[in-house]
Amino acid sequence: MGRAKKVVLAYSGGVDTSVCIPYLKKEWGVEEVITLAADLGQGEELKPIQEKALKSGALESLVIDGKEAFVKNYAFPAIQANALYENRYPLLTALARPLIAKMLVEAAEKYGADAVAHGCTGKGNDQVRFDVGILALNPHLKVLAPAREWGMSREETIAYGEKFGIPSPVKKSSPYSIDRNLLGRSIEAGPLEDPMIEPDEEVFVMTRAIADTPDEPEYLEIGFEKGIPVSLNGNGLDPVTLITQLNEIVGKHGVGRIDMIENRVVGIKSREIYESPALLVLIDAHRDLESLTLTGDLTQYKRGIEETYSHLIYKGLWYSPLKEALDAFIKTTQEQVTGVVRIKLFKGSAKIVGRRSENSIYAPDLATYGADDKFDHKAAEGFIYIWGLPTKVWSLKHKGL
């Protein structure tokens, strides 16, 4: 009796997920393996990957285009939530996992599989996101994670694969572990494991080095509707095109790099390099538009929600009831977040230099220091008397005044 009869395996085309195919069949007695490669804009040819899966012993090899769903249903809600894990990481990898989990579960249901599988090891965050995402969507499915259990080194994995006709990587494999999709790139390991070592310029592909950026600033207007980015410089764009174009424009000016030590779900710290040009600028612009259109108490309260929301995304709880409840809150807050944010890109910086909205609650006649000031200065006196009263009473009592 094997661990499962029919398995849908999340497939990237790399050595690890390829080795999973014979491993599941030979070591764990799985009868049929169906692979699923999700196209989330990693800019890779998926046709060869599809064929590689079949050559490695998959019964069927699925390729699913998830780009639009990824941006609309995962990235956009995160932008509305201004989601930055530990105030910095825009969650580009974390956001892809619940979508892949959903694809795996749907394929398992369609093909009558009793399990799904992935190639994550036991040390990362992604295993948590896959496992919890899958069990949330279909608690009856088994989740198999061969690489979490097989205990093979890199060399042993390659050797195992060769026995089953899986070619070892042609080019000398890079020392880095890289995850990439439409929203950006996550780079770790190799020399980056020393937190003091500056990342080599070669790790970046979406963002230019400052030395290579244009010598003239570029202005950019991003339009939002109910908290969702819909246009660049007045041109309405579909979600995937908008992100693609924005990555290009922003990356050209060297904006979007992050270098941080982050706290993983499994308790270890890791050094991570990210480049995520579009997403970072969108979150910044979106937050700015909120400051023009929402009341102070609402934005301040929302900050706390955003923090929780970011943790839920990072920690694999995308399909949890708390996340769903927070979605309802965030949706309500976005009703008026429509307008345009103007950004100046120059030499590695993206500065917000203007914003406008038909829903703006910035009141010039109250804010002005000019002659047409409508603010009632006299009213401030009474307000301050009452506002400061408890503090005054305290001081009288305890400071011997």
Catalytic residues: 16, 97, 126, 177
Question: Is residue 258 a contact point for ligand ARG (CB under 6 A)?
Answer: no
Candidates 16, 188, 290, 306; binder of ligand ARG (CB under 6 A) is 188
DSSP letter string, 26-91: HTT--SEEEEEEEESS----SHHHHHHHHHTT-SEEEEEE-HHHIIIIIIHHHHHTT--BTTTB--
Residue 210 or residue 268: which is nearer to ligand ARG going by CB? Answer: 268
Question: Is residue 157 a contact point for ligand ARG (CB under 6 A)?
Answer: no
N-to-C CA span, the chain: 84
Question: Is residue 42 a contact point for ligand ARG (CB under 6 A)?
Answer: no
Question: Is residue 336 a contact point for ligand ARG (CB under 6 A)?
Answer: no
Positive or negative, the Cα torsion across 125, 126, 128, 132? Answer: positive
Candidates 177, 263, 295, 300; binder of ligand ARG (CB under 6 A) is 177
Min dist CB 233 to ligand ARG, Å, is 31
Contact window for ligand ARG (CB under 6 A) among 63-71, 176-184, 245-253, 365-373: 176-184
Candidates 46, 135, 178, 305; binder of ligand ARG (CB under 6 A) is 178
Contact window for ligand ARG (CB under 6 A) among 63-71, 175-183, 275-283, 345-353: 175-183
- Using CB under 6 A as the binding criterion, the count of chain residues that bind ligand ARG stands at 9
Task: Decide: helix, strand or coil at residue 221.
Answer: strand
Question: Is residue 276 a contact point for ligand ARG (CB under 6 A)?
Answer: no
Residues 6+ positions from 58 with CB-CB distance below 8 Å: 9, 11, 21, 33, 34, 35
Q: Give the bridge partners for 143, in sequence order.
A: 116
Contact window for ligand ARG (CB under 6 A) among 39-47, 171-179, 230-238, 363-371: 171-179
Residue 97 or residue 302: which is nearer to ligand ARG going by CB? Answer: 97
Q: Calculate helix-pair angle for 15-26, 47-55, nearest 10 degrees.
A: 30
Question: Is residue 16 a contact point for ligand ARG (CB under 6 A)?
Answer: no
Residues 6+ positions from 10 with CB-CB distance below 8 Å: 17, 35, 36, 38, 100, 104, 116, 117, 118, 119, 130
Question: Is residue 275 a contact point for ligand ARG (CB under 6 A)?
Answer: no
Min dist CB 186 to ligand ARG, Å, is 4
Look-up: residue for tokens 């799985």? Answer: 30
Locate 145 and state its tokens: 């994670």
Residue 85 or residue 224: which is nearer to ligand ARG going by CB? Answer: 85
Task: Please tell me the distance from the alpha carbon of residue 260 to that of residue 91, in angstroms, as a whole number.
Answer: 13
Contact window for ligand ARG (CB under 6 A) among 173-181, 236-244, 367-375, 383-391: 173-181
Candidates 81, 94, 183, 192; binder of ligand ARG (CB under 6 A) is 94
Question: Is residue 174 a contact point for ligand ARG (CB under 6 A)?
Answer: no
- Eight-state DSSP code of residue 122: T
Residue 124 or residue 254: which is nearer to ligand ARG going by CB? Answer: 124
Task: Please tell me the distance from the alpha carbon of residue 106 to that of residue 125, in angstroms, as a whole number.
Answer: 22
Positive or negative, the Cα torsion across 159, 6, 129, 45? Answer: positive
Question: Is residue 186 a contact point for ligand ARG (CB under 6 A)?
Answer: yes
What Å distances lie between residue 16 and 50, 87, 134, 158, CA to CA? 15, 32, 20, 8
Task: Please tell me the distance from the alpha carbon of residue 170 to that of residue 15, in angstroms, as a whole number.
Answer: 11
Candidates 16, 32, 179, 284; binder of ligand ARG (CB under 6 A) is 179
Question: Is residue 131 a contact point for ligand ARG (CB under 6 A)?
Answer: no
Residue 9 or residue 345: which is nearer to ligand ARG going by CB? Answer: 9
Residue 199 or residue 346: which is nearer to ligand ARG going by CB? Answer: 199
Min dist CB 111 to ligand ARG, Å, is 27
Residues in touch with ligand ARG (CB under 6 A): 93-94, 125, 177-179, 186, 188, 272
